[in-house]
Amino acid sequence: MSYKSEYSAQDVTPKHLFLNRRQLMAGAAGLLAAPAFAGTSPYSTDEAPNSYEDITTYNNYYEFGYDKTDPAQYAEALTIDPWSVKVDGLVDKPGTYSLADLIADMPIEERIYRFRCVEAWSMIVPWQGFQLSALLQKLGVQAGAKYVVFETVVRPAEMRGQTGGMIQWPYREGLRLDEAMNPLAFMATGLYGKPLPKQSGAPIRLVVPWKYGFKSAKALVRISLVAEEPQTTWKMLAPNEYGFYANVNPQVDHPRWSQATERRVGGGLFAGRIDTQMFNGYGDQVASLYTGQDLTKDF
Ligand SMILES: Nc1nc2c(c(=O)[nH]1)N[C@H]1C(S)=C(S)[C@@H](COP(=O)(O)O)O[C@H]1N2
Ligand SMILES: [Mo]
């Protein structure tokens, strides 16, 4: 089944125009799901996206609790305007940027990606946003930078899960610089043509479609360019279960379950499991990043 984006530039529906107008009137916040989509990307899958309902009511976001329904129930408490992102480390233009300044000149497009959680469920998600590479180019990566680190906001008064639990906040993730520069690595600011919902990581999150979902950190407030492989949340918690690379790999099982197959969320009670693909099906674009690496060790 194939899906034609409602939001492509070639197909300007009244709904699209309405969204533009409303978003423009809403000011900076509205620009986050910016109006000028370049059309469906060659990087998008033509599989049918999950419903908005599926995508925004079945979430992992431990800052709001451990249950899949906690984020939809509690994320509304997070203040996302104003929002700023600190950029530091080995970068030409460090500083604390307002979100609007950070993304002002980024080319916004739609990417319909497969999304595969390490827990062996998956979805198809129509994101809007921009390539991480465009942002890194604008910030100016210095020689010596080898990794990009991402940190989520820490705000226990608004994030009820941050008042306890086993995670050492902030939630943090990282990519090797060549992974971050791959055209698939994406910064999402919108979903289904609307500003990103809070439970999905508003106002800005990472999306790395060939890696397990935990790499795709939400509600980013800090991006650092560093020389050494950074500490990352799930590896800190259980290094024998979750590695730094976390590439989707049906041949490397989690110590407690198989990664060979996955359950597509929203498939219904009687839908069968589907085979998990190497690199979540993005091998043509990313396999060369790992030439010479043993992915059973660098899992
Ligand atoms: N800050 C933060 N980012 C996070 C998480 C989290 O708990 N906190 N969970 C991760 C995990 S395990 C997954 S599977 C995805 C889920 O994204 P979704 O809820 O939009 O599907 O977010 C990732 N990003
Ligand atoms: Mo996950």
> 60: phi > 0 → left, psi -120 to 50 → alpha, else beta; which?
beta
Task: Tell me which residue of 253, 260, 249 sits closest to 283, measured CA to CA.
Answer: 249
31 pLDDT higher than 70: no
177 pLDDT higher than 50: yes
Q: What is the mean pLDDT of the segment spanning 107-113?
A: 98
38 pLDDT higher than 90: no
- What is the CATH superfamily name and number for domain 9-290? Oxidoreductase, molybdopterin-binding domain (3.90.420.10)
| pLDDT one-digit tens code per residue, 188-197 | 999 999 999 9
Q: What is the mean pLDDT of the segment spanning 213-242?
A: 98
Q: Which atom from ligand 1 is nearest to the alpha carbon of 55?
A: 21
The pLDDT value given to residue 186: 98
- Which pTM value belongs to this model? 0.89
Range in 11-25, 82-96, 105-119 with the lowest mean pLDDT? 11-25
Closest listed ligand to the CA of 127:
1
Range in 13-17, 104-108, 275-279 with the lowest mean pLDDT? 13-17
Percent share of the chain, pLDDT over 70: 87
17 pLDDT higher than 60: no
CA atoms of 205 and 42, how far apart (whole Å) = 21
CA atoms of 66 and 196, how far apart (whole Å) = 21
The pLDDT value given to residue 39: 57
Closest listed ligand to the CA of 123:
1
Q: HEC string of the chain? A: CCCCCCCCCCCCCHHHHHHHHHHHHCCHHHHCCCCCCCCECCCCCCCCCCCHHHHHHCCCCHHHCCCCCHHHHHHHHCCCCCCEEEEEECECCCEEEEHHHHHCCCCCEEEEEEEECCCCEEEEEEEEEEEHHHHHHHHCECCCCCEEEEEECCCCCCCHHHHCCCCCCCCEEEEEHHHHHCCCCEEEEEECCEECCHHHCCCCEEECCCECHHHCCCCEEEEEEECCCCCCHHHHHCCCCCCCCCECCCCCCECCECCCEEEECCCCCCCCCEECCHHHHCHHHHHHHHCCCCCCCCC
The pLDDT value given to residue 190: 98
* Cα-to-centroid distance, 292 and ligand 2 (Å): 27
CA atoms of 284 and 26, how far apart (whole Å) = 40
CA atoms of 209 and 214, how far apart (whole Å) = 11
Evaluate the CA torsion angle 93, 99, 101, 106 in order and state its sign: positive
5 pLDDT higher than 70: no
CA atoms of 235 and 22, how far apart (whole Å) = 42
In this structure, which residue's CA is closest to atom 8 in ligand 1?
61
33 pLDDT higher than 70: no
Q: Ligand 1 pocket test: pick from 200, 218, 264 the residue with the most ligand atoms within 8 Å of its Cβ.
A: 218
In this structure, which residue's CA is closest to atom 21 in ligand 1?
59
15 pLDDT higher than 60: no
Q: What is the mean pLDDT of the segment spanning 68-74?
A: 98
In this structure, which residue's CA is closest to atom 15 in ligand 1?
213
Domain ranges for the chain, please list them. 9-290
The pLDDT value given to residue 164: 87
| pLDDT one-digit tens code per residue, 115-174 | 999 999 999 999 999 999 999 999 999 999 999 999 999 999 999 999 988 999 999 999
> 116: phi > 0 → left, psi -120 to 50 → alpha, else beta; which?
beta
* Residue found under tokens 């059973």: 296
**pLDDT-derived band of residue 42, with 50, 70 and 90 as boundaries?**
very high
- Ligand 1 proximity of 60 Cβ (cutoff 6 Å): yes
* Residue found under tokens 């999304």: 115
* Cα-to-centroid distance, 216 and ligand 2 (Å): 9
- Ligand 1 proximity of 173 Cβ (cutoff 6 Å): no
Token pair for residue 116? Answer: 């595969």
The pLDDT value given to residue 269: 87
Query: Is-contact 93 138, C-beta < 8 A?
Result: yes
Query: Does 10 or 170 have the greater pLDDT score?
Result: 170
The pLDDT value given to residue 46: 96
The pLDDT value given to residue 237: 97
Query: Is-contact 62 161, C-beta < 8 A?
Result: yes
- Ligand 1 proximity of 247 Cβ (cutoff 6 Å): no
In this structure, which residue's CA is closest to atom 14 in ligand 1?
213
In this structure, which residue's CA is closest to atom 18 in ligand 1?
59
Chain mean pLDDT for the chain: 90
